[in-house]
Structure 1
């Protein structure tokens, strides 16, 4: 149990380190889309490129995969595909690319970003 809590605590600590945190893989096109959207809105997220963190990145990706699959309303979502991007706003998991885009389209993303202190407009 102690081994399992370590990576989860690390993710929680990293996710709460800034108003907006994106866990990404440098070659992932969906990660690029999320980062570009946030930057376009005027948000400067903290980005962790998991493929550049070695063994720790793989452990974090496993934790994110578990968290995103638990938060996914669709049981058909592929766990490995859902691991990145993972977006945290105000230290809370928002979700992956589908959730971020859904919130952007329905108008709820900007209020979430304002509430977390990532936007002041």
Structure 2
């Protein structure tokens, strides 16, 4: 009988110490990783924009949200270090400007870069500005 009582007390103690630890882990703050991304044509003749939050919500508007977030995580949020997806582009000159404004891991982000073409932007930024 004492053995059963001891085992029951041990089980209760284990559960009462495990539950707060699990709850504490789930309450850790999730880093703010939210960016508003834009792509615009030469002299702002056209502009597109989309919000991206990482990890992406189920109703994310960015068509490649999961892979865009993965690329940003791989670059530690530094858009100059995006892994990109190299592929061939024509030498046509039709400049586009991409911009990101928001927060990554609590740090403010304001990033802007002009590329000779949409293809070159896609090659160097991968899925992040592919919308």
Using structure 2 for the length normalisation, give the TM-score: 0.24
Tell me which protein shows more helix as a share of its residues.
Answer: 1
Tell me which protein shows more strand as a share of its residues.
Answer: 2
Higher relative contact order (CA 8 A, sep 6+): 1
Structure with bigger gyration radius: 2
Using structure 1 for the length normalisation, give the TM-score: 0.26
